[in-house]
Amino acid sequence: MSLFWSLSSPSPSYYWGGTWNPADKNAAITLSNGNLTVRGTSYGVEGVRGTGGWDASGKHAFEATIDTTLTYDEFVGIAAIGDSLADSYTTAAHLVAYYPTSFNYYHSGYVSASGSTGVTAGIGTVLGIVLDGGALKIYIDGVLKFTPVTGLSGTFYPYAGNSPGKGITAKFVALTHTY
């Protein structure tokens, strides 16, 4: 998966803003495309956080467009500043693993929810990650698919992690869909 931001359009107040943070990533992650595209270089789901954190009580959104064939260990979500960037699905706060037709939601290393997305995700699929009043909401191509957790508090950052060769491109402003 790759994450892509466009800085050319005015931003509604809920746009996350920023890019992936090259100073806050695991060594097994490579960034390109102005720090908007994330690719993994080894197995183990290493990750990267975005440059800006936001309080969970507000509304903030970013998108991740899948730009490689999904297999396993493709993650996108939110993480706190203290969450590990190594073996992320076992330690990070709130991650969603996407597979072609299903998902697992991980909370602090445990699968807290899983199921079918009702669609086949693939190259070009847009995943919307929305933190809204303490609720993490996951959209696929602009349609709300699930809300795996509510009642969040504190500061969270965009997060992505990928297996070798897999990539996503993020948009932190000028989003494709309205949330």
Please answer whether residues 36 and 27 qualify as being in contact, where contact means their C-beta atoms are separated by less than 8 angstroms. Answer: no
- pLDDT bin (cut points 50, 70, 90) of residue 105 is confident
Looking at the predicted structure, is the pLDDT value of residue 82 above 70?
yes
> For the whole prediction, is pTM greater than 0.95?
no
Residue 82: partners with Cβ closer than 8 Å, 6 or more residues away = none
**Residue-wise pLDDT tens digits, 113-162:** 666 666 667 788 888 899 999 998 888 899 998 888 888 889 989 988 77
- The architecture that CATH gives domain 2-171 is Sandwich (2.60)
C-alpha pair distances (Å), 158 with each of 12, 62, 101, 103, 115: 17, 8, 23, 18, 23
Report the pLDDT value the prediction gives residue 108, as an integer from 0 to 100: 62
Please answer whether residues 166 and 122 qualify as being in contact, where contact means their C-beta atoms are separated by less than 8 angstroms. Answer: no
**Residue-wise pLDDT tens digits, 20-61:** 999 999 898 899 999 999 988 876 667 899 998 989 999 999
Closest C-alpha among 106, 110, 90 to residue 138: 106
